[in-house]
Amino acid sequence: MPFIDILIFAAIALFLIFRLRSILGSRDGFEQKREELQRFSGDAANDSGAQDEKIVPLHKDKNPINGKGLTAVRQADSDFRDDEFMTGAASAFSMVLGAFADCDLASLRRLLAFDLYQEFAQSVHDRNKRGDRLDITIDEIEDVQLLDGEVVDNVASVTVQFVSLQTRLVTDKNGVVLEDESEAKVKITDIWVFERDTTLADPNWKLVETRVEDEN
């Protein structure tokens, strides 16, 4: 009986060996398939250097966008919408003038680019040093228009015109109105330039330039 058991186990073992060989194939067959795959994909066998050279990054560097006009801005910033931008610019217009009058440098720092912030901050410091007070009331924003746009190395800029009725009052440290600097409800046309680096995740635009258009 033990001898018969040994024969049975030997037969089972031989069967399993042949069965596995038929399923997996020989090492020579496996190597042949691997070489065919390498030839098909263009990789040389056992040449890791050649294989590394064929690795392509998922995100290739794109050429910087440059152009004139609002069309170039829309190309650089796919989320740019004229109406939405004008609404946001009008809000920024009121906030910047209000922060400037209130000497709110923290708000100005968030809204202005560095160079322009330095100019505004210096004006605020000079006013505080004299003890003067500035009040700005925006009675009405009559019109907001996008005048122009430009993109230089993915940095987009948009020029906006604001036509508004404003009341400005300047008083000295004693509360005396400075007549030569005070204006009662006048129409002012401001030209402001906003800028944003479209390669950054930050969607906020910064004010980089302001000027008042001469009514004459």
CATH (domain of 129): 3.10.450.240
Flag whether 60 is in a domain.
no
Q: Are residues 187 and 137 in the same domain?
A: yes
Q: Are residues 32 and 74 in the same domain?
A: no
Q: Are residues 122 and 72 in the same domain?
A: yes
- State how far the Cα of 156 lies from the Cα of 85, in Å rounded to an integer: 13
3-state secondary structure string, the chain? CHHHHHHHHHHHHHHHHHHHHHHHCCHHHHHHHHHHHHHHHCCCCCCHHHHHHCCCCCCCCCCCCCEECHHHHHHHCCCCCHHHHHHHHHHHHHHHHHHHHCCCHHHHHHHECHHHHHHHHHHHHHHHHHCCEEEEEEEEEEEEEEEEEEEECCEEEEEEEEEEEEEEEEECCCCCECCCCCEEEEEEEEEEEEEEECCCCCCCCEEEEEEECCCC
- State how far the Cα of 196 lies from the Cα of 204, in Å rounded to an integer: 7
Flag whether 7 is in a domain.
yes
Question: Which residue range is the domain that position 13 belongs to?
Answer: 2-53
pLDDT of the residue at 8: 56
Q: Are residues 95 and 198 in the same domain?
A: yes
Q: What is the pLDDT of residues 70-94, one digit of tens each?
A: 999 999 999 999 999 999 999 999 9
Q: Are residues 7 and 107 in the same domain?
A: no
Domain count, the chain: 2
Flag whether 61 is in a domain.
no
pLDDT of the residue at 64: 87
Q: Are residues 134 and 75 in the same domain?
A: yes
Flag whether 58 is in a domain.
no
pLDDT of the residue at 180: 72
User: CB count, 10 Å around CB of 173?
Assistant: 10
Bridge partners of 102? none
Q: Are residues 114 and 163 in the same domain?
A: yes
Q: Which residues of the chain have pLDDT under 50?
A: 3, 23-24, 26-60
Are 128 and 104 in contact by the 8 Å Cβ rule? The answer is no
pLDDT of the residue at 215: 61
pLDDT of the residue at 89: 96
Flag whether 176 is in a domain.
yes
Flag whether 27 is in a domain.
yes
